Chains A and B, each alone.
Chain A
Amino acid sequence: MAYDVIVVGGGPAGLSAAQNVRARGRTVLVVSNPLEENPLWKAKQVDNYLGLPGVSGAELLTAFRRHAEDSGAEFQEGRVLSALRSGEDWYVSIGNTMAQAKAVVLAAGVARGKKFPGEAELLGRGVSYCATCDGMLYRGKRVAVLGWTPSAKKEAEFLEGIGCEAVYFDKPRDCAILGAEKVEAVRCDGVTEAVEGVFLLRPAMAPGDLFPGLAAEGGFVTVDRNMETNLPGVFAAGDCTGGPLQVSKAVGEGLIAGQKAAAFASSFLERL
Chain B
Amino acid sequence: MRSKLVVDYVPEGEKKQKNFNTLCGLEVTTASATATQNCDLNKTKEENKMALKHLKTAEFDAAVGEAPLAMVDFWAPWCGPCQMLGPVMEDLAVRYEGKALIAKVDVDEEPELARRFGVMNIPTVVFLKEGREFDRKIGAFPPAVYTEALDKAL
Contacts and interface: CB of A to CB of B under 8 A. Distances in A.
Interface of A: 1-3, 27, 29, 34-36, 51-55, 58-60, 62-63, 65-66, 74-77, 81-87, 89, 91-100, 123-128, 130, 132-134, 136-138, 182, 197, 212
Contacts of A52: 3, 5
Contact of B13 (A29, A77, A84, A132): A77
Nearest to A132: B78
Interface residues of B, number: 54
A75 B136 CA distance: 35
A99 B30 contact: yes
A54 B84 contact: no
Q: Which 8 A-B pairs have the closest CB atoms?
A: A2-B38, A93-B80, A124-B138, A54-B2, A133-B79, A76-B31, A93-B81, A91-B84
A100 B78 contact: no
B35 A27 contact: yes
6 contacts: A123-B121, A126-B120, A128-B121, A130-B79, A137-B119, A182-B118
Contact of A2 (B5, B13, B37): B37
Contacts of B88: 84, 86, 91
Contacts of A3: 35
A211 to B, nearest CB: 10
A84 B30 CA distance: 19
Given A82-B140, A84-B142, A93-B84, A137 B114 contact: yes
A136 B5 contact: no
A84 B80 contact: no
A70 to B, nearest CB: 12
B62 interface: no
Contact of A77 (B7, B12, B80, B114): B12
A97 B30 contact: yes
Given A84-B142, A86-B142, A98-B28, A58 B80 contact: no
B58 interface: no
Contacts of A63: 5-7
B12 A97 contact: no
Contacts of A89: 41
B28 A97 contact: yes
Interface string B8-27: 11011100000001010000
Interface string B113-124: 010001111101
B1 A100 contact: no
B140 A84 contact: yes
Contacts of B41: 86-87, 89, 100
Contact of A35 (B9, B34, B145): B9
A53 B79 contact: no
Identify the interface centre among B31, B34, B124: most chain A CB within 10 Å of its CB. Answer: B31
B9 A97 contact: no
Interface in B28-83: 28-32, 34-38, 41, 76, 78-83
A46 to B, nearest CB: 10
A81 B141 CA distance: 12
B35 A96 contact: no
Contact of A59 (B7, B36, B82): B7
A145 to B, nearest CB: 15
